[in-house]
Amino acid sequence: MYILVGIRWCLFYDSKKRAPVAWALFYYQILANILKKENRQAESLLQLEEGVKINPKAANLHGALGFAYLDAGKTDLAKIEFEQAKENPANFQDAQIGLAIIAFKSKNYAEAESVLEQVAQKEKKLSPVVHELRGHLKAAQGKEEEAIG
């Protein structure tokens, strides 16, 4: 916890340079992860929201906030965050996974399949989560043979 306090102090030490913004992203994401592991989801969510306020262009924080909203059952807010996160190519796959999960949970299998297909076409290396979601999607559609193979 001492490291986080030190980082927070650095955030406000020299607000005229860009370095505090970089530290802010690091600080809020790490603190949110620690709070989540301590089952303090509401506080974790607040930290991510604060980080996004500091830097609204931080796609990685938008993605993390999207998954936090998804865990909290706030799918409308999660979808907004994932849409913002996918604007950064480095976060495209994770954001699309979040959007596919939302579609899957709402039983909109066609949309989930479309989102996963976009990931497959754009990304060279697919996350194992994409393959797992595709399997669950096929099983939910009654296509168990395709889900296994």
| pLDDT > 60? residue 72 | yes
Do the beta carbons of residue 78 and residue 70 sit within 8 Å?
yes
Query: Exposed (0-12), middle (13-18) or buried (19+): which is 142, by Cβ within 10 Å?
Result: exposed
Choose among 86, 87, 69: nearest CA to 78. Answer: 69
Q: What is the mean pLDDT of the chain?
A: 80
Sequence-distant (≥ 6) Cβ neighbours of residue 47 within 8 angstroms: 28, 31, 32, 35
More confident position, 5 or 144: 144
The token pair at 20 is 């505090």
pLDDT of residue 138: 85
Q: What does each C-alpha distance from 64 to 38, 42, 70, 148, 149 come to in angstroms? A: 17, 14, 10, 30, 31
For residue range 80-101, list pLDDT tens digits in order. 999 999 888 878 888 999 999 9
Q: What is the pLDDT of residue 142?
A: 83
Paired tokens of 76 = 């409308």
114 contacts 120 by C-beta, under 8 angstroms = no
Quote the distance between the C-alpha of residue 22 and its chain's center.
Answer: 18
Question: What's the pLDDT tens digit per position in 8-28?
Answer: 444 444 444 544 555 566 777
pLDDT of residue 21: 54
pTM: 0.77
- Give Cα separations from 104 to 24, 58, 81, 116 (angstroms): 33, 26, 17, 11
For residues 35 and 21, give the distance between their C-alpha atoms in angstroms, rounded to a whole number.
21
pLDDT of residue 53: 86
- CA dihedral (27, 32, 37, 43) positive or negative: positive
CA 4 to chain centre: 22
